[in-house]
Structure 1
Amino acid sequence: MRSSRWTPIAGWCAATATSIVLASVAMLPVLRTDAPDDRALAQLPASDASEFPVPLPSATTPPPKSAVPSATAPTRKPKPTETQTTTTAPPRATTTAPPPVTTTPPTTTEDGWTVTTAGDGTRTYVRSFRVEGGQAVIRMTSDAVVQLVTATPADGWQVQKVQDTPDNLAVYFNETGHSFIIHATWHNDRPFAQVSEIGS
């Protein structure tokens, strides 16, 4: 009865001992090998202790791509004596329309009147009158309109304009007891003018 109770324990002990023996046999080749660090240290020459520790090289990372200098030729700064010239494109020519050509109508002279004919056929008559009392310039048109352009009295004289209708004009140069009258009117499709003197 006693032997049957110890049989499992004896079996367990036998199995454990067998495991230990197998593990030891498997570890023997590893335990017999020298450590590589020991052999490497043994081969190093003896040196002064002041040389150790030798600093390890630092790992450097390459600079970013933008910082790498390009392979192109370096740019040369201009010397102080050099001048930089910039070329600019010539200004573009602007085309402007030529000014309209104005043609002056031809002039003629009729009975002392300077006659100008407009494009629509209207004739203009201009004449200057000079008398002792002053000078007057009168203009008429072929549509029966008479106008006084200028009237300049002489020293001591006075000028007076009288016009009752568009086609009839009188210019007076007056002094005391003495007058010159320039009478201009449109008559028979042409200008008519008469100069008269009153008093002395």
Structure 2
Amino acid sequence: MRSSRWAPVAGWCAATATSIVLASVALLPVLRTSSPEDAALAQLPAADSTSFPAPLPSATATQPPVTKKPTPTPTKATKTTTPPRSSEPAATTPTPPAPTKAETATTPPKTTTEDGWTVTTAADGTRTYVRSFRVEGGQAVIKMTSDGVVSLVTATPADGWAVQKVQDSPDNMAVYFNEPQHSFIIHATWFNDRPFVQVSEVGS
């Protein structure tokens, strides 16, 4: 049984080998015929290894090697910290304004008392004298200043009496309290750089 299976395979192998041998025998004459180029090469003397010419350059154009540019390393941007702007203006210390003449004038003047007179001294050195005088016929308040001016502040007569002011110059004044046939006179004048007042009675 086994020899009958392998008989066709052996026959195919024998046939294939016979075909290869026949083809080789047929090609021998052709292979033995040398070409003219082979004959010419056979006539050239053997080349000395020391005199071997330099190789011809290649017909392919040599391209310059591509230089790969280094990829730039990204640098971290320096972050500049800017202080936030405040919408509110910067706090500044206010400078007090220089005192004006009007503010200087509001300084309370110095007040003293001399011989019953209330004396007030102003910033410029002017002195003001004020005093009240009471008589039977009424009451008068007189003012004098150091520049020689005499003035009547108030004059209040008593019941049944009348008041009259007489002044012939800025530094000389008289106040009369009158009733029929009877008078009180307050005579005020600026004398010897100070106030001078004399009270007198006329009639009865």
TM-score, normalising length: structure 1: 0.50
Structure label with greater radius of gyration: 2
